[in-house]
Amino acid sequence: MELAFRPPLQRRALLEWLAARAVPGVEEVEGGTYRRSLRLAGGAGVVEVELDDAGTSGRSARAAIRCRLLLDDHGDAEDAVARVRRLLDLDADPRAVASVLRADPLLGPLVAAAPGLRVPGAVDGAELAVRAVLGQQVSVAAARTAAGRLAAAYGERLEHPRGGVVALFPSAQALAALDPASLPMPRARAAALVGLCAAIASGALRFDADRDEARRALLALPGIGPWTAGYVAMRALGDPDVFLVEDLGVRHGLARLGGPTDPRAARALAEAWAPWRSYASQYLWQAPQRT
């Protein structure tokens, strides 16, 4: 099928973002195709989307992405499509974002150079939250490795694997039952991960609830701080106005552009970027080095 979107769209940027974070066994990028497993009501599935950069962001480019679904239960097709759209942020309005950010002296050149940059979301809120905890104070590569190990140990094998996609990401219920001491990570992080999954499994934390309510529930959990809660709000809850001032990559982006890195000054600067501060964070993550 084809998934429509409002152009422009930075396909290559999406592909590179997903490739850098692809969990081995659960996700893979092959050429211009991104592939991953899905946990759905009727069983498992695998989705493939073509994100090659042919006609990437030009107005003449066809405003649709080719998508292939391989599902245990065809009744899950509508839900699967909705999850892929959230992952790729295909319902965004890039012109509305640009109308605010392009006028900014700091971000304007980035927006002009890469119009239609999306904020990648998530196919599953619980998975994203677990991956956010795994990413606390470590590099993207280290978080990816940790998630791959978790998937290999506790993910369910697919009956119909596709390429390198052979498993589902572990469920919150499965991870909530673990002894934190059995996990190969710092003790505090392991306890935070198991506690998070217990809250999800019990229904105390829901990703279909009000964003503010979900964020409060996250921050009430031991080991969940502002960065983790903000990252989950941005990607799992679809909040378009999160400014991750605590994020090292965001601060590096500000520094590369000659902007303030002091948190208070950065927050003050970012007020002008509302209500699209999640997109501003994405541009800062990908800001090039000044020459």
Active site residues: 247
Question: Dihedrals φ, ψ of 228, to 5°?
Answer: -65, -45
Rg (CA), the chain: 19
Q: Kindly tell me the number of DSSP H helices and DSSP E strands found in the chain.
A: 13, 7
Nearest alpha-carbon partner for 133 in 82, 199, 79, 38 = 199
CA dihedral 162, 165, 171, 177 (to 10 degrees): 120
Helix (H) or strand (E) holding 153: helix 140-154
Residues 6+ apart with CB under 8 A from 86: 121, 122, 123, 238
43: nearest Cα among 14, 16, 64, 74: 74
Q: Residue 103: exposed, middle, or buried by beta-carbon count in 10 A (0-12, 13-18, 19+)?
A: exposed
Per-residue CA distances from 40 to 76, 83, 130, 260 (Å): 7, 10, 18, 44
In the numeric block, the tokens 């066994």 are attached to 25
